[in-house]
Chains A and B, each alone.
Chain A
């Protein structure tokens, strides 16, 4: 039981490049989330998926797209990376009791 896994752990992009952050959970949870963590700002919600086949915008969705590929996987795509997207990205899933479980994070730098 690995919980929530994320790949890659680290990534450096040049401005304008694209990439997809992968997230998978093996706890059979319906809800999944993507957050970004910036110094002094806590975590902010980018997108979430309440169930397979549905996605919704969070607090800071601009510049991102998501795909809920199946119940296990929820990916985050940056189509044209910008330096303002330099951050640590966390994926989470939520159990029926509303507790969220977080992955180890992806540290992204955009130069």
Chain B
């Protein structure tokens, strides 16, 4: 079946540091890949997505590139802000059209 493995947290960074959260996946066929963000006390929001190999999703300074050769979709941001503190989930959508989520990575950014 499909699965998503995410970098274990929590991750603590200083403001303006570079962020990488690793995500790898296992799936048959050609899944679509997503990053969701969950701010404290709220539901998940779609952050970015990529639907085919070599696509780059980007939003709010975050980027992730769909790498089929390494089955990865790592999330990056060049300069994090305190307001980026949240839980980040990597997810895939396979042929059954359902989402499979990773376990989430808690990010805390200190001023």
Contacts and interface: CB of A to CB of B under 8 A. Distances in A.
Contacts of B32: 98
A100 interface: yes
Nearest to B46: A99
A43 interface: yes
Contacts of A4: 43
B101 A42 contact: yes
A103 interface: yes
- Measured as residues with beta carbon below 8 angstroms from the partner, the interface class of chain A is 10 to 19
Interface of B: 4, 6, 32, 41-46, 49, 89, 91, 93, 97-99, 101-104
Contact of A58 (B91, B98, B102, B103): B98
CB-based closest 4 A-B pairs: A102-B43, A42-B101, A102-B44, A43-B101
A104 B46 contact: no
A100 B42 contact: no
Contacts of A2: none
Contact of A104 (B43, B49, B89): B43
Given A40-B104, A41-B103, A105-B43, 6 more contacts: A42-B6, A42-B102, A90-B44, A92-B43, A92-B44, A102-B44
A45 interface: yes
Contacts of A43: 44, 89, 99, 101
Contact of B93 (A42, A48, A92, A98): A98
